Amino acid sequence: MAQMWITMGPQHPMTHGLWTLRVKVDGETVIDTEAELGYIHRGVEKICEARDFTQVTPYCDRLCYVSAMTWANSYIYAAEDLLEADVPERAEYIRLISAELQRLASHLMWLGAFGPDIGNLTLMTWCMRDREMFLDLLQELGGSRMHYNYPRIGGVKRDIPIGFADRMIAKVKLFEKRIEEYEMMLDESTIWLVRLQGVGYCNAEEMVEAGVSGPNVRAAGVNYDVRWAHPYSVYDEVDWEPAVEKPTSVKGADCYDRYRVRIEEMRQSCRMVLDAIEKIPGGKNTNYASGDEMIYTKAPTRAPEGATGFSNYECTRGASQFYIEGGGEGRGKKPYRLSIRSPMFITIPFVAKTMIGYKVADIPAIMGSFDPCIGETDR
């Protein structure tokens, strides 16, 4: 049969971002792939060498734009390690609530983009409609729909507004019923099941060897989550369980498992948020002024040469890490080197190799089920 290379080029509705996937096909079967990244490489690591530590936070929002709050939090923990800042407990609760709300919004965006790949256009409208609910809540906290610039080194910028707790509880409870509607539509749909089950097997050890983390690995049956393995916020005081999915075959998890693990994660995030808002110290209906010691501790602004900071954080798509070396320009006011570890940078070449052996029509299903976000890949 005819063998040829097909370029699924930078502008392609499947790719969810700008990257090229070149596939070598023999008829309909994929026999080799090559991934090419770097179309939106902005040199953030170099730009941040000329920014103060507080000025770096908006850049981290824009790394993975779909889940901006988790990346900003990830950088803030690394900066707190470098500058040795303390964080009050109420601020940690607020960070947990904002990160979990962002995780809900991000998984909904994923589902809303994944559905049309499989052919289910209803999902796009349903998921984006529900995502607007959480974007409204995050807008109350941060001021903008997508790039909030909300956490600060030593706390958060603003306290939760009065009435936020009631609005959030109402919306989250409504959303828990909506998850059941999604499952009703998808788990009984033959097309959905046929296109996702049996496609894209990856087993846990290969994935971890390659550096894949997060829900993609939890879909293969192994419960590893940075939130309990290297604990950072108040996750141990909040009622939750890591979402883990049993793999369907000895070859590992297929696309259907990865979809189920994210639905389960959405349920756990709802549970976490409802529990955290009840347990928040200082009460859920009080609003402290900005800069109050309940939500913010003034942190040092200079880092001496030789100091380093590292953070390991569970972002929506995997484990994101920041490594900052101090002693930069301005006698230590700016970082000397800021290094960002993106989970998707490793996952995309790995997934490109997993596609070998499947049909061309399976490519969007496999790629979409790993939830790529190119903003964090080409930083």
Positions in 190-229 near other proteins (CB under 8 A): 203-206, 208-211, 213, 217, 220-224, 227-229
If the CB atoms of residues 309 and 332 are measured against other proteins, the closer one turns out to be 309
Q: Is 169 among the residues that bind other proteins (CB under 8 A)?
A: no
Shortest distance, position 265 Cβ to other proteins, whole Å:
14
Phi, psi of 230 (to 5 degrees): -130, 80
**Alpha-carbon dihedral sign for residues 159, 164, 95, 343:** negative
Shortest distance, position 362 Cβ to other proteins, whole Å:
19
First-to-final CA distance of the chain: 40
Q: Is 242 among the residues that bind other proteins (CB under 8 A)?
A: yes
Hey, which residues does 312 pair with through a beta bridge?
321
Binding piece for other proteins, criterion CB under 8 A, among 163-171, 189-197, 280-288, 333-341: 333-341
Degrees (nearest 5) of the Cα angle 216, 219, 225?
70
**What is d(CA 176, CA 250) in angstroms, rounded to the nearest whole number?**
32
**Using CB under 8 A as the criterion, what x/- string covers residues 262-281 for binding other proteins?**
--------------------
* Residues in CB range of 41: below 8 A, 6 or more apart: 378, 379
Q: Is 37 among the residues that bind other proteins (CB under 8 A)?
A: yes
Q: Is 4 among the residues that bind other proteins (CB under 8 A)?
A: no
If the CB atoms of residues 142 and 375 are measured against other proteins, the closer one turns out to be 375
Q: Is 300 among the residues that bind other proteins (CB under 8 A)?
A: no
Judged by CB under 8 A, the residue of 8, 44, 104, 274 near other proteins is 44
Q: Is 185 among the residues that bind other proteins (CB under 8 A)?
A: no
Is 77 exposed, middle or buried, given 0-12, 13-18 or 19+ CB atoms closer than 10 A?
A: buried
**What is d(CA 76, CA 234) in angstroms, rounded to the nearest whole number?**
15
User: Binding-site residue total for other proteins (CB under 8 A)?
Assistant: 101
Q: Is 54 among the residues that bind other proteins (CB under 8 A)?
A: no
Interaction residues for other proteins, span 56-75 (CB under 8 A): 58-59, 62, 65-66
Q: Is 371 among the residues that bind other proteins (CB under 8 A)?
A: no
* Residues in CB range of 55: below 8 A, 6 or more apart: none
* Residues in CB range of 238: below 8 A, 6 or more apart: 96, 272, 275, 276, 279
Q: Is 337 among the residues that bind other proteins (CB under 8 A)?
A: yes
Q: Is 285 among the residues that bind other proteins (CB under 8 A)?
A: no
Judged by CB under 8 A, the residue of 3, 46, 283, 293 near other proteins is 46
Q: Is 109 among the residues that bind other proteins (CB under 8 A)?
A: yes
Interaction residues for other proteins, span 116-155 (CB under 8 A): 124-125, 128-129, 132, 145-147
If the CB atoms of residues 32 and 206 are measured against other proteins, the closer one turns out to be 206
Is 108 exposed, middle or buried, given 0-12, 13-18 or 19+ CB atoms closer than 10 A?
A: buried
**What is d(CA 315, CA 225) in angstroms, rounded to the nearest whole number?**
10
Q: Is 10 among the residues that bind other proteins (CB under 8 A)?
A: yes
Q: Is 354 among the residues that bind other proteins (CB under 8 A)?
A: no
Sheet architecture: strand order including 29-36: 3-8, 20-26, 29-36
Shortest distance, position 289 Cβ to other proteins, whole Å:
25
**What is d(CA 299, CA 82) in angstroms, rounded to the nearest whole number?**
11
